[in-house]
Amino acid sequence: MEPFLRKQFGNPSGLYSIGREAQAGVDDARKRVADCLDARSSEILFTSGGTESINAAMLGIAYAMRRAGAGNHVITTAIEHHAGIHTAQYLEELGFDVTYLGCDPHGRVSTAEFAAALRPETVLASVMLANNEVGTVQPIAEIAAAIRDYATRRRHRVLLHTDAVQAPGWLPLAVDELRVDALSLSSHKFGGPKGSGILYLRRATPFRQLLHGGGQEMQKRAGTENVAGIVGTAAALEIASRGIGERSLRVRLLRERLRDGILARVPDVLVNGCQENCLPNNLNVSFAGIESDVLVAGLDARGVACSSGSACSNSTWEPSHVLMAMGVHIRQAVGSIRFSLGEDTTAEEIDAVLEMLPGEVAKAREGSLALAHPEAD
């Protein structure tokens, strides 16, 4: 990224030489991203992040399909990231009919339920590849096969988009194996710069752009390119795409060490999410009798950064929509914590967290408001 932040300030749309240098940087990045996804360069768009990619894919495909008279029904799931759920709600405002599929207690969406939701008016399905809160991996290739089966029988096209934001570095992302028509990625989830993302759009996918203006990104995403972000995105994705098997295995063992250590040391704990089909770096745990923000603050004070699955604002409890869809009791949901491991995480770090956790959980239980919460019963 550095040359494009320090000295190569050309605009890729400029015909002058420094503009052409910037364009060459973007072209090279597009080719490298395409190679990582087993796609063509012409199928890669650079965006401002996962949220934009998801919005562009869902709105752009649904709109183009409806305009072509193909229908107005969209299928998605109740456990998407808010970037997907809120876009689906916006599609409803625009007059689309949206089906929100539920999931099993492990956070898996059923392919049979998905197949049963397909209708002659269905134009788009958007199902995330891996859940950001509990790490459960969805059967995307099976869902794609269900679509293909339906499409062949009914001679009707349904496009499949997946929010794969959590997957790079942990799961293979060859688009022909996943059999998706569109796939969204966010650079900072795989070590790239924040505010940069990727949208893969399979050739000949009906699409109406989200951002209107100049002709950048093959007329599909107007606006001057974030050249440094794009170059950094490509470099990071290349690095993340190497050695996935070895990295996943190593980190999965650390995740299990953390999970089993917590279960052995802390009473009244529930592990959330599927333990087989899951991201190797994500562990979501509910501690009964706590409000998770209290524990997050306690761990943060000791140098451990983790996320809470619930948010308490103005005395209103907002348990995770994902855990609620999985049928987790609200009392467990408000006490859920997500630990995200990185490829640099060490066994010593896991052990240090295990060492401090019983005391921090006990403190959080004492100070917690969760038991006083009226809905908690």
Residue 183, CB-side half-sphere exposure with 13 Å CA sphere: 32
Residue 359: Cβ within 10 Å count: 12
x/- letters, 63..102, toward ligand PLP (CB under 6 A): ------------------x-x-------------------
Rule CB under 6 A: say whether 123 interacts with ligand PLP.
no
> Which residue among 21, 43, 163, 225 contacts ligand PLP (CB under 6 A)?
163
Rule CB under 6 A: say whether 50 interacts with ligand PLP.
yes
Rule CB under 6 A: say whether 360 interacts with ligand PLP.
no
> Which residue among 87, 111, 126, 166 contacts ligand PLP (CB under 6 A)?
166
φ, ψ of residue 163 to 5 degrees: the values are -85, 100
Residue 279: Cβ within 10 Å count: 27
User: Nearest-CB residue to ligand PLP?
Assistant: 50
For residues 86 and 373, which CB has a smaller minimum distance to ligand PLP in the complex? 86
For residues 54 and 98, which CB has a smaller minimum distance to ligand PLP in the complex? 54
Q: Which of 288, 269, 293 is nearest to 377 (CA)?
A: 288
Residue 83, CB-side half-sphere exposure with 13 Å CA sphere: 21
Rule CB under 6 A: say whether 165 interacts with ligand PLP.
yes
d(CA 123, CA 152): 14
> Which residue among 197, 206, 280, 335 contacts ligand PLP (CB under 6 A)?
197
For residues 88 and 128, which CB has a smaller minimum distance to ligand PLP in the complex? 128
- Asked if 318 and 310 touch (Cβ cutoff 8 Å), the reply is yes
φ, ψ of residue 30 to 5 degrees: the values are -65, -40
- Asked if 294 and 305 touch (Cβ cutoff 8 Å), the reply is no
Rule CB under 6 A: say whether 221 interacts with ligand PLP.
no
Rule CB under 6 A: say whether 132 interacts with ligand PLP.
yes
Residue written as tokens 């496009």? 159
Q: Is 278 a catalytic residue?
A: no
Q: Output b/e per residue, 140-162; b: 16+ Cβ within 10 A.
A: bebbbebbeebeeeeebbbbbbb
Rule CB under 6 A: say whether 47 interacts with ligand PLP.
no
Closest separation in Å from C-beta 175 to ligand PLP = 17
Q: Which residues are catalytic?
A: 312
Q: Which residues bind ligand PLP (CB under 6 A)?
A: 49-51, 54, 81, 83, 128, 132, 163, 165-166, 186, 197
